[in-house]
Structure 1
Amino acid sequence: MVLAQHRRLTPELTEEAALRYQAALVNHVSDAIIGITATGNITSWNPAAESIYGRSFDEARGHPVSELVGAAVDPAAIVASGGIAHTTHRSADGAPLKVRLSAAVMPDGYVLVCCDLTTQYRAEQHFQTVVDSMAEGVIVLDKDGRIKSINPAAVQIMGVGVEYVGSDFFTITDQLPFYDADGVNIPTDRRPARAALRDGVSSINQIYGFDRMSTERVWLMSSCRLLNPDLPGRSDLLISFVDVTAERADADKILFYATHDALTRLPNRVSVLRRLRKALASGDGGEPLRWVLFIDLDNLKLVNDTMGHTAGDQLLCAAAESLRSVADSDEVVGRLGGDEFVVLVCHDLSRSELDDKIARMRAELATPVGVGGTHVSINASIGVVEVHRDEQRTADEILRDADLAMYEAKRARRAVNRNG
């Protein structure tokens, strides 16, 4: 008898325990859970609803839910559209609340679940305000490479607008040349954003260049990283960058004047020696250096002494232009200092072909140029050194030998002039 009574009570106890569990759940969740009749009047109002909306259950019971949450609520429409809506409610003091509202049909009406997203929304707004005010460009891509957001600085730097949000980033950028710090174009499959999105490989503060749609070269210091590094292939990607075009131009200018003669803008002695060493080190696999011409202007001192150094500078610039006009595109024309110039012939050329080139150089130099209010022809002594394929001399030794050959040529010219 007792066992039979126990068996009859067990389902009742189980149901009571379930109800207690449900009540505890409703009372302790952080979301507002509101029960309403089919006509929209409140029948239940959990503690989270009291906290979110600032009204007690006694204040809320029996009132229309739209009146208590400060906005129109149509649970039937929410259910028909999938059961979830994002909306703005208001608390008792009139403060706006960003809410995710879920609705479900119950036997005696509806149950509403209101998740307060106000704090999250404010954090997102704060973050977006910070990003929008940054001087650094910021672009966020989704896992498929589509642009999710682009801040005003990125719009200004990239020369594109927010109309590209939702577009495929790579479809846009693959059309543009993209360079490493040395100015070498990077193939599209090796560009940092694609590598980071695909493999999770971050790049931090790297220098890249691209030709903006206006064809202007822009240099960036850029970083790419996944927002969730543990999910390569599934995470959004953050690209950040600053425009360093002006700084790059300043650095290029410093580098140019460190390696070029300020007056003639030709490569200087340091640059000539570096190119000589590079050509010698490359052997047959690189620039085939074959001849070195050492050129000394015979009448620079006379011009300086009789017309002044300004006229001498004009003579040097005219000589540089004459040598440039005869040299081929793969040949290096440099100024070593004073009245000394050099030409590196970086391709195969027979001695007779070289002699023809030297003759054209002399003719070009001899063409009268305006200097110090008069016209002057430039005379030059030219020393020639051949560079062999199995060359054993160093760059300095080759330049020394070319210098000696120039002095031999100068003595020979003087001897001819005396005898003539």
Structure 2
Amino acid sequence: MSDEKGDGAVDAEQLAQRYRSLVDHSPDGVVVHEGGKLVYANPAIVRLLGANAVRDILGRPVTQFVAPRDIGPMLARIARLNATGDASEPAEMALIRLDGGTVDVETVSVLTIWQKRRAHQVVIHDLTAQRRAEDAQRRAEQHFTTVVSQLEEGVVVIDRGGCIESINPAALRIFGHAGGDLVGTAIAALPLALLDPNGQPLSASRHPVARTLATGETIARYVFGVDRADGQRRWLSGSSRLLNPGDPESPAVSSFNDITEFRASRRQLEYQATHDPLTGLANRSLVLSRLAGALGTSEDLPVSTVLFIDLDGFKSINDTLGHAIGDTVLQIVAQRLQRSLRQDDVVGRIGGDEFLVLLSGGTLPVDLDGLVTRLRQAMAEPIIARGHRIHVDASIGVTPLHPGDTRTPEAVLHDADVAMYQAKPAAHHEGPGSIRRPNNTHAS
């Protein structure tokens, strides 16, 4: 029996040594205070308090090392510990170092037996690294918020339910809501109308950001429009992505630039590249492009017939009255052509006094004869320009297209040109480019 007791004592001593070694090497501070005074401190707390050796802190009141504001709550926590092994809830507090500095820690107190007397063992975790990380994150968030708020690019964060979590000032300005706040507003309830790239209504459920929320897909460089409450229409180039791609509950972030002026400028440049600056009609390049597209179709031709129109004697108008009046005549002729043709027909100026008309598919031959007659009559109506009464006749060449037409656009243009010259002798009614001066000088 005595041997068994001896063995038990040895085991207990070994266990105590192992525990003591574990505590001594713990990265967390461990102290024991009895009757309010420190009776044990491990090396980690010695370093944390800035002491040179454990003797520098043993025997001192535990409250000497606790920030005054935290003493009361600490004493209240340990007062609630009644039975050996009871532990307090983790609590944050500030310790005072021997050099007067402070350090934030998290502590847990346990009621224990120390040398056969009740005492409190405290495990102390240094929060310095955590605080640094939190401060760094807070500074990063503040920096990010500041940067986002200064961006000219609109940025909106949208939650899983389709409501705005945050929105920067640029987005508010773009939406025409500067000075207001749209946080908490559902995308479908915004005080504006969404449009697709063609200007058609776009429901919130069809907006690319809805697809990002549904699938997690990143969508870049899409174009959409907004009709604002103030009547302005703005065009935006946007991208949408998940804010936290690894989180299935992540909100989406939509960013966009206002491209209204750029879009208008680009359309203006495209218009200038494809239209005659004097008459506003399609230019040679655009007409031949449309013709090429029609010739590439095997059936249901979008263009049935090509008309080549030449103004008879126009050179004499320029030579006699000057190019300014000649330009006016061309502008009026262009207007008359447009009024005489259908909306689906294409009329262009291909150079000088030559015009090309692409009649849309479905025009019947009997209709064609009547159309040519009407065009000649429209051209023959007198033009009043700067006090001059001018008569302009037109020669019109006609060439039809047919399914499977193998001609090139230039070949079609040549055939129509030949047909126009063949029609020229019959196109004169009152003499080419004849000019009369009216009694009044009103220009029209």
Bucket of the pairwise TM-score, normalised by the shorter protein: 0.7 to 0.9
Q: Is 1:27–2:28 an aligned residue pair?
A: yes
1:201 to 186, 200, 217: 217
Taking structure 1 as the reference length, the TM-score comes to 0.73
Distance 2:290 2:256 in 1: 34
* 1:229 equivalenced with 2:230 (yes/no): no
281, 304, 307: which is aligned to 1:266? 281
Cα drift, residue 316 of structure 1: 0.6
Q: Distance in 2 between matches of 1:111 and 1:370?
A: 104
Q: 2:186 aligns with which of 140, 143, 168?
A: 168
5 Å-filtered alignment, 1:266-285, equals 266-284=281-299
The corresponding residue for 2:63 is 61
Which of 188, 196, 209 matches 1:178? 196
Matched with 1:382 is 396
Matches within 5 A, 1:16-415: 27=28, 61=63, 67=69, 116=131, 117-160=134-177, 163-169=181-187, 172=190, 175-179=193-197, 191-204=207-220, 206-214=221-229, 215-231=231-247, 233-284=248-299, 288-414=302-428
5+ residue gaps, structure 2, are 31-40, 51-56, 78-88, 98-102, 112-119, 433-444
Counterpart residue identity of residue 336, structure 1:
I
Paired positions, count: 389
Distance 1:188 1:282 in 2: 38
1:102 Cα deviation from its structure 2 partner? 9.5
More divergent stretch after superposition (340-349 vs 368-377) = 368-377
Equivalent position of 2:4 in the other structure: 3
The alpha-carbon deviation at position 414 of structure 1 amounts to: 4.7
Cα distance, 1:244 vs structure 2: 2.1
Tell me: CA distance 1:23–1:138, structure 2 relative to 1, closer, same or farther (3 Å).
farther
CA distance in 1, matches of 2:90, 2:386: 87
On the 8 A contact 1:330/1:347 being kept in 2, the answer is: no
Which structure's CA Rg is the greater one?
A: 2
What residue in structure 2 maps to residue 54 of structure 1? none
Report if aligned partners of 2:310, 2:395 keep a CA contact under 8 Å in 1: yes
How far 1:178 sits from its partner (Å)?
2.0
Contact map agreement 1:298 1:379 (CA 8 A) in 2: yes
Q: Which letter maps to 2:422? A: E
State the distance in 1 between where 2:201 and 2:70 align: 63
Deviation of 1:298 (Å)? 1.5
Which deviates more, 247-256 or 221-230?
Answer: 221-230
SS in 2 for 1:284: coil
AA aligned opposite 2:280:
R
SS state of the match for residue 157, structure 2? strand
In the aligned structure 2, how far is the partner of 1:175 from the partner of 1:104? 57
AA matched with 1:236: P
Consecutive unaligned residues in structure 1, runs of 5 or more: 34-43, 52-56, 77-82
Partner of 1:41 in structure 2?
Answer: none
Distance between the aligned counterparts of 1:103 and 1:176, measured in 2?
55
Instruction: Give 1:288 shift.
Output: 2.3
TM-score (norm 2): 0.70
8 A contact 2:191–2:228 mirrored in 1: no
Is the contact between residue 193 and residue 227 of structure 2 (CA under 8 Å) also seen in structure 1? no
Counterpart of 1:349 in 2: which secondary structure? Answer: coil
Shift of 1:66: 7.0
The alignment-based identity, stated in percent, is 33
More helix by share: 1
Q: Aligned-residue CA RMSD in angstroms?
A: 4.7
Matched position secondary structure for 2:361: coil
